[in-house]
Structure 1
Amino acid sequence: MELFATGQISMQIKTANINTYYIFYKLSSVLCAVSVSTLQPLPLVSSNVQWPSNLSVALCKPKIYVYKLPSHLKSQSHYGYEICTISSYNPDAIFYEQLVNPGKIRDLYVTSNPNDADFFFIPFFGSCYLMNCWNNNYWNYTKSCNLDNQYSLPLMNWIIQEHPYWNRTNGKDHIMILSMNEIPSYFTESQPLLLNASFLTVIGDRRANGIMEHRYRHMHDIVVPSTADILNLIKINPRKYFSEDGNKNARNVFAIFRGCCRNIGPEVDYSAGVISLFFNGLADSPRYDIDEAVDLKIDDYAWLLARAKFGLAPQGRALGIARLWEYLAFGVVPVIVSDGIVLPFENDVDWNSMAVFIRREDAHLIDEILLSITENEYQRKRQRVWEIGSHLIKNSWHYIVRDLCRKMDRIVPVELDI
């Protein structure tokens, strides 16, 4: 009996200790909660060590020389240029014109003396050439209109044979735009001449699929923004569709998607099957506005974008997202469902702060994931889209230059008046 009583006393003591610990833990939690609520913001750090980067402080200030093509090549280099400016390959024109037309980009980074240059920009418009080729052949994408012999080889031979700059580094300090991800498949003879240059490309691919040299080469190429038809072809000005705060409190459409393809199956390569979930599930919910091509008048579609909270952004044929740039321009938080994608300027742009990322294996949980996002979290992302995302194309060269500085391993911070 004494042993039993002693055991009871011991158990009571243990129970009392546990209860005391629990009370202490709860009291500590309350005290911590009180102290956490009174925390003050940390002081600002030097702009040199901020991330995301402060664009007004460049990592360095390299000089870029833009090749001036002779008349016999200029006509070829601008073959199809006009159609390129109103297509999804508009970056080819935008980035070139920012370098050669009067303005801040040319003033900051361009030199007229090739002997002073750190990098050399080749005015290469292979995407424009192909767009014009297909337009003239009823959009037969098997046609190449002799891209290699009529365009690419003459241009590259002129760069390599008529100047000393390519051969100094075997082209490693040269830059050219390849915004069409399929374009290397149209090259045969000229492809070896191009590969040493750094490509500005709209497709970034982390997957080990054996064809990365045809799409994206990590630490060699630079992923840049693409553009959207509503912005380039129709030339809609997004700013006329919302208030100064980006329709902060007027977004009453939960999520939208416009694109191919209603009858696609989950097993197909296009979009890795993700779009099948949009049309066979999400489209049945009143929260989602999902359809194929833009079936509204373009003005109505612009108003729809201006009222949407989330925009579904799966990959297409390649690891790229055509709708992303519409969403950013209209202040829509993108929902990116594309495993392995490399987004533009990831070294300097905090994409996680303004987008929702969902793995393909979790794509069937899209609705659940989006509903779990609090209003405060959504508003933080929307604000970042408004402040950063909608200006990425305008500021692309500032970001490109930061990656060029990393290539040179030259980090000498320079304040810019931007």
Structure 2
Amino acid sequence: MQDENNGVEESSLIIQEPSKLERLEANLTRARTFIRNLELNFTQTLRVNKEENEYIPQGDVYNNASAFHKSYLMMEKMFKIFVYKEGELPMFHGGPCKNIYTTEGRFIQQMEIDTKFRTYDPDKAHVYFLPFSITKMVQYLYVPDSHDCNAIKQVVVDYVTVITNKHQYWNRSLGADHFMLSCHDWGPMASSFVPDLYKNSIRVLCNANTSEGFDPSKDASLPEINLVTGELNNVIGGPPPYDRSILAFFAGKLHGHIRLILLEHWQNKDEDLQVYETLPKGVSYNEVMKKSKYCLCPSGFEVASPRVVEAIYAECVPVLISIDYIPPFSDVLNWDSFAVQVPVRDIPNLKKILMEIPEDRYLRMQKRLKHVQRHFILNTPPKRYDVFHMILHSVWLRRLNVQISDQ
């Protein structure tokens, strides 16, 4: 009897080995603890990085530079992404590398060739990327002016169905450790065709509109970058503040009610506030931007505007005029330190608001633009802390908010 009891007792002490997912989640838990609670030896880190000419996040452009630095280093050390192989070109595994959808295409294509963060072993992945391009779907499937999105809906639904039937990973989290990325205005709508994708997954969107279901705790705002030629030639940089004679500048087509209000109040009304629907012949958009202290960035029909990044590139302080818009990388960047946010109701007072900003504050904001530029630059190949890595960091932060179990 004793031997039998001992046998029972011994069998009850058998410890089951943790699953691959449990080990992965345990590592993420340690990362959360490190980022939130523990101190990083910044004296040693600063010394090492200065020797290597590496960038150290510091200053008021960040909500918490220390936390960002720790989080970024942990991301570099451990973050792994699995890219589903299913799907054929052109609507999968590629995208546009020019025009206002540049960010979407460049990210999708970079993930195809990435060797640092991409893993080909799905059991080692922290997140799973759905490599479809909404921009390409619209190009190939949408009949202009038809208002019929059924073909796009069918592709998105079918793709997720294939993933769920072929792989175990979507089903165990209901998509919470999966992400999609889209700079097209229809990105949010396309995600809504699959309820779990809309509700649970990380959606990286240019159209980061909280009134349309964008949730900053799980979704990430994507900067809209318009590279006409696909290159950054002569785009980055601008003259110093004392060589900027124009108070504020905007040029853009009538596109949504915010721009309508802006044009009604300021078009051809004031030399200090140069607001145009169409630029005069022979006038360079980029040159006027570089002569301006402030660049007005009103939302169009959708909340995002490529003018935000254009202003940052030109070192012209962005003036965000929008409703329900979450600017890119807001969980890391302190937008109030290098940009001005003006409510739509205050458009009639724009000149007064900008004129009342003290000169020393403007100079600090303009200086910080040079500091923050690196986070919005599309490098080929990517460099540390650039826009590709900032997008990954946004996904990394949101994955840290999720805990997945085998049950």
* Same fold per superposition (TM over 0.5): yes
Contact 2:297–2:308 at 8 Å: present in 1 too? yes
Change (3 A) 1:297 1:334: same
Q: Which residue number in structure 2 is paired with residue 97 of structure 1?
A: 109
Is 1:182 the equivalent of 2:186?
A: yes
SS at match of 1:346: coil
3-state SS in 2 of match to 1:85: coil
1:304 paired to 2:288: yes
Paired residues for 1:231-270 under 5 Å: 231-233=227-229, 235=231, 237-239=233-235, 242=238, 246-261=239-254, 270=256
What does residue range 143-222 of structure 1 map to in structure 2 within 5 Å? 143-144=148-149, 146-149=151-154, 151-185=155-189, 190-192=193-195, 194-195=197-198, 196-207=200-211, 212-213=212-213, 216-222=214-220
C-alpha contact (below 8 Å) 1:91/1:227 kept by paired residues: yes
Q: Distance in 1 between matches of 2:230 and 2:264?
A: 27
Aligned equivalents of 1:390, 1:145: Cα separation in 2: 40
Q: Which residue of 2 is the match for residue 317 of structure 1? A: 301
Residue 71 of structure 2: aligned partner: 58
Which residue of the partner structure matches residue 88 of structure 2?
74
* Amino acid corresponding to residue 197 of structure 2 in structure 1: L
Residue type matched to 1:171 in 2?
G
Return the letter of the residue paired with 1:382: Q
Distance change (3 Å), C-alpha of 1:383 and 1:260: same
User: Are the equivalent residues in 2 in contact too, given 1:224–1:396 (CA < 8 A)?
Assistant: no
* Cα distance in 2, alignment partners of residues 220 and 319 from structure 1: 18
- Secondary structure in 2 aligned to 1:319? coil
Task: Return the index of the structure with the highest Cα Rg.
Answer: 1
**1:271 match:** 257
Unmatched segments (≥5 aa) in structure 2: 1-41, 46-55, 379-385, 403-407
What one-letter code is carried by the residue in structure 1 that aligns with 2:136?
C
Structure 1 position 399 matched with structure 2 position 404: no
Q: Give the aligned residue type for 2:168.
A: P
TM (norm. structure 1) is 0.70
Are positions 1:88 and 2:93 aligned together?
no
Contact residue 306 and residue 331 of structure 1 kept, 8 A: yes
Provide, for residues 77-99 of structure 1, a one-character-per-residue CA deviation record: whole Å limited to 9, x for no partner: 349x56x3223222221222332
Does 1:142 pair with 2:147?
yes
> Is the 8 Å Cα contact of residues 266 and 273 (structure 2) preserved in structure 1?
no
CA distance in 1, matches of 2:63, 2:190: 39
Match in the other structure for 1:360: 344
| Aligned residue-pair number | 335
Measured on the aligned residues, the alpha-carbon RMSD in Å equals 3.2
CA shift, 1:220, in A, is 1.6
**145 and 130 in structure 1: CA distance in 2 versus 1, 3 angstrom threshold:** farther
Q: Is the 8 A contact 2:82 2:121 kept in 1?
A: no
Change over 3 Å in CA distance of 1:349–1:141 after alignment to 2: farther
Whether the 8 Å CA contact 2:267–2:276 is kept in 1: the answer is no
> Is the partner of 1:58 in helix, strand or coil?
helix
Pair 1:330 & 2:303 matched: no
